[in-house]
Amino acid sequence: MVGVKMAAAAAAASIRERQTVALKRMLNFNVPHVKNSTGEPVWKVLIYDRFGQDIISPLLSVKELRDMGITLHLLLHSDRDPIPDVPAVYFVMPTEENIDRMCQDLRNQLYESYYLNFISAISRSKLEDIANAALAASAVTQVAKVFDQYLNFITLEDDMFVLCNQNKELVSYRAINRPDITDTEMETVMDTIVDSLFCFFVTLGAVPIIRCSRGTAAEMVAVKLDKKLRENLRDARNSLFTGDTLGAGQFSFQRPLLVLVDRNIDLATPLHHTWTYQALVHDVLDFHLNRVNLEESSGVENSPAGARPKRKNKKSYDLTPVDKFWQKHKGSPFPEVAESVQQELESYRAQEDEVKRLKSIMGLEGEDEGAISMLSDNTAKLTSAVSSLPELLEKKRLIDLHTNVATAVLEHIKARKLDVYFEYEEKIMSKTTLDKSLLDIISDPDAGTPEDKMRLFLIYYISAQQAPSEADLEQYKKALTDAGCNLNPLQYIKQWKAFAKMASAPASYGNTTTKPMGLLSRVMNTGSQFVMEGVKNLVLKQQNLPVTRILDNLMEMKSNPETDDYRYFDPKMLRGNDSSVPRNKNPFQEAIVFVVGGGNYIEYQNLVDYIKGKQGKHILYGCSELFNATQFIKQLSQLGQK
């Protein structure tokens, strides 16, 4: 038993850690990075393209890069000056234009030596192009190493990844579901997705067992991925899944399950208004690759009459795993988050005098906080001040950050009545009786934006057992048009529903209800920063969304008509036998759910909550792109345009 536990613990080295370790190894000239080695790092330049930038930025801060000896990080296609006595580490996609530019760098002798790392495997012919350029520039000795890194995916959380952020239109829901897509275009889309998934499993160091629904884009991905893994395993000499990369005995007990689902099994969730912190930030703010961009409105009150309104300051904050508050509360219902920020603020205020005292000991009354962290100690008194001050200031920084972010979210909730939408949609999705008519909300000028109304109606339309009658539909359409909605998304959803009806029954969302806990104004103390008057304090009940339910069936080996005919692939089997009968009858300990056609934080949070109750099991959530409802509606709208 101990062995199994150990394996599970080892396997739990999260994908985030694995990708970070791989990046650090690369920045260390592809030798494993040793933490406590003394001495200065070798100073070097990092050259990346936009793809490389997106992979590195959620994982390594500028400070961490500096610790690794990166003094300068530049985009490949920017104007770069020669720095002849410094090695350069490249981290780019093996595209034509990137390779041309690298060859140009070699010819111009920009750097002392070149470590070329490709995010995804480079083809033989392109490798020859580089070799020829190096020969022509007589720079062969300067090209120190050429590596395929197999890192073509972006990790956002310990248990969440997304395929790409640049040209994500290529693998978007719209791209896969365009009625006029040609077979060759579809092949390209699928190959792009498979390439990234392949990189993901190389980095994870495991060959999965694959399950997927039939007749969907997910099935095309499964077939191609199975083939690609199979070919790599066959080629024993060059296999990427051999002993040393796997880490000792990590998956020797059990391989992970990969469940490939198609976005079309559930189109309601991506449109759903949400109530948890992370998903709300993604829904209403500009939140992208773990960074949120806020416009801070500067005060209007104190500007003289007729003065130009002040420019809005843009601020951006990184919401990272180092941020304890974020880690703890990103899945919490919003009112709880507001309350916790308030508590943190009060506990900090209690320590504020301490900060002032420490600053005066150090003679730093008016100093900015950046200068303080640079100080080193010189007396015992200073030592204690130095060690506790940065900690307190960091706490203050996080409180300010979450106060700003939560306030921005709250403004949206209040202005758009998002609590009303959330509660109403939950009722629709769980088929509970509705307390007021849909038409009332749609025609209420104060409730939400036209897009909010459209999302609500689409969820109603998708979840309805039978579609509303033509007469009713016309009435709804008129109300939506009067409210300023664009009806294109509905056009597409109508076709989709007609098509999906032939395929299967609509997804059910479990019978859940949110219980309002009375208005928040009573809960929040009056001195709170968050004026939550009139916002409902809704408490979430755990219910499984369709994606989570499918995963639960397949991971726990439950028999269920929804998933019984899912195809089963095992790339390690010599002969690929097409069956839906799993050979392995034991429940899985590790699973990866991957949504072809795009995912969202609501599903991610739902999976996280589901797995909390399962001892010793791990789930990863991945998707071809991460969109919020606004971005998704835009794609539906493009699909609905005739």
Q: Determine the average pLDDT of the residues in 310-319.
A: 81
Quick one: pLDDT band at residue 377, thresholds 50, 70, 90? very low
Q: What does pLDDT average to over the chain?
A: 83
pLDDT given for residue 91 in this prediction: 96
Of residues 10 and 531, more confidence is placed in: 531
Number of domains composing the chain = 4
Residue where one domain finishes, among candidates 443, 467, 502: 502
Q: Determine the average pLDDT of the residues in 78-86.
A: 93
User: Which string of b and e fits 138-169 if b means at least 16 CB within 10 Å?
Assistant: ebeebbeebbbbbbbbbbbbbbbbbbbbeebe
Does residue 416 surpass a pLDDT of 60? yes
Distance from C-alpha of 414 to C-alpha of 195, rounded to nearest angstrom: 43
Q: Are 429 and 465 in contact (CB under 8 A)?
A: no
User: Which string of b and e fits 11-46 if b means at least 16 CB within 10 Å?
Assistant: bbebbbebbbebbbebbbbbeebeeeeeeeeeebbb
Q: Determine the average pLDDT of the residues in 488-497.
A: 92
Is 563 a domain residue?
yes
pTM of whole model > 0.85?
yes
For the domain that residue 344 is a member of, what is the CATH number? 3.90.830.10
Helix, strand and coil percent figures for the chain, each rounded to 5:
50, 15, 35
Does residue 491 surpass a pLDDT of 80? yes
Taking CA atoms, 41 is separated from 20, 36, 115, 143, in Å, by 18, 11, 16, 20
Q: Are 457 and 464 in contact (CB under 8 A)?
A: no
For the domain that residue 237 is a member of, what is the CATH number? 3.40.50.1910
Does residue 521 surpass a pLDDT of 50? no
Q: Based on the fold, state whether residues 82 and 124 are members of the same structural domain.
A: yes
Is 6 a domain residue?
no
**Phi and psi at residue 192, in whole multiples of 5°?**
-60, -45
Contacts of 598 (CB under 8 A, 6+ apart): 172, 173, 263, 270, 623, 624, 625, 626, 627, 632
Is 520 a domain residue?
no
Q: Based on the fold, state whether residues 259 and 335 are members of the same structural domain.
A: no
Is 9 a domain residue?
no
Q: Tokens 């969304």 appear where?
A: 545
pLDDT given for residue 567 in this prediction: 92
Q: Based on the fold, state whether residues 222 and 141 are members of the same structural domain.
A: no
Of 366-380, 535-549, 554-568, minimum mean pLDDT range:
366-380
Residue-wise pLDDT for 335-351, tens only, equals 999 999 999 988 888 77
Q: Based on the fold, state whether residues 481 and 556 are members of the same structural domain.
A: no
Is 194 a domain residue?
yes
Quick one: pLDDT band at residue 513, thresholds 50, 70, 90? very low
The DSSP annotation for 268-327 comes to SGGG----BHHHHHHHHSEEETTEEEEEEPPPSTTSPTTPPPPPPEEEEEE--TT-HHHH
Residue where one domain finishes, among candidates 106, 122, 151: 151
Distance from C-alpha of 87 to C-alpha of 142, rounded to nearest angstrom: 9
Q: Based on the fold, state whether residues 70 and 175 are members of the same structural domain.
A: no
pLDDT given for residue 69 in this prediction: 92
Of 230-244, 506-520, 585-599, minimum mean pLDDT range:
506-520
Q: Based on the fold, state whether residues 163 and 257 are members of the same structural domain.
A: yes
Distance from C-alpha of 610 to C-alpha of 612, rounded to nearest angstrom: 6
Q: Are 162 and 626 in contact (CB under 8 A)?
A: yes
Distance from C-alpha of 594 to C-alpha of 377, rounded to nearest angstrom: 50
Residue-wise pLDDT for 101-158, tens only, equals 999 999 999 999 999 999 999 999 999 999 999 999 888 889 999 999 999 999 999 9
Q: What percent of the chain has pLDDT over 90?
A: 56
Q: Tokens 């007021």 appear where?
A: 436
Of residues 308 and 472, more confidence is placed in: 472
Q: Determine the average pLDDT of the residues in 567-578.
A: 78
Residue ranges making up the domain that contains 463: 434-502
Distance from C-alpha of 513 to C-alpha of 430, rounded to nearest angstrom: 7
Distance from C-alpha of 277 to C-alpha of 274, rounded to nearest angstrom: 9
Of residues 39 and 123, more confidence is placed in: 123
**Count of C-beta atoms within a 10 Å radius of residue 354:** 14
Q: What percent of the chain has pLDDT over 70?
A: 81
Q: Based on the fold, state whether residues 91 and 19 are members of the same structural domain.
A: yes
Q: Based on the fold, state whether residues 144 and 167 are members of the same structural domain.
A: no
Quick one: pLDDT band at residue 159, thresholds 50, 70, 90? very high
**406 strand-pairing partners:** none
Of 133-137, 222-226, 581-585, minimum mean pLDDT range:
581-585
Q: Based on the fold, state whether residues 125 and 187 are members of the same structural domain.
A: no
Is 400 a domain residue?
yes
Classify residue 332 by its DSSP letter: S
Q: Taking the CA of residue 145 as centre, how many other CA atoms within 13 Å lie in the half-sphere pointing to its CB?
A: 17
Q: Based on the fold, state whether residues 141 and 183 are members of the same structural domain.
A: no
Q: Map 210-270 to HEC letters.
A: EEECCCCHHHHHHHHHHHHHHHHHHCHHHCCCCHHHHCCCCCCCCCCEEEEEEHHHCCCHH
Q: Determine the average pLDDT of the residues in 512-522.
A: 42
Does residue 373 surpass a pLDDT of 90? no
- Which ranges of 524-600 does DSSP label H, i.e. alpha helix? 546-555
Q: Are 268 and 429 in contact (CB under 8 A)?
A: yes
Distance from C-alpha of 319 to C-alpha of 58, rounded to nearest angstrom: 9
Does residue 516 surpass a pLDDT of 80? no
Q: Determine the average pLDDT of the residues in 365-386.
A: 54
Task: Locate 514 and state its tokens.
Answer: 């949110």
pLDDT given for residue 510 in this prediction: 54
CA-nearest of 270, 341, 276 to 514 is 276
Q: Based on the fold, state whether residues 466 and 573 are members of the same structural domain.
A: no
Of residues 33 and 228, more confidence is placed in: 228
Q: Determine the average pLDDT of the residues in 90-106.
A: 94
Is 217 a domain residue?
yes
pLDDT given for residue 537 in this prediction: 73
Residue where one domain finishes, among candidates 120, 151, 182: 151
Does residue 270 surpass a pLDDT of 70? yes
Q: Based on the fold, state whether residues 23 and 111 are members of the same structural domain.
A: yes
Does residue 183 surpass a pLDDT of 90? yes
Is 511 a domain residue?
no
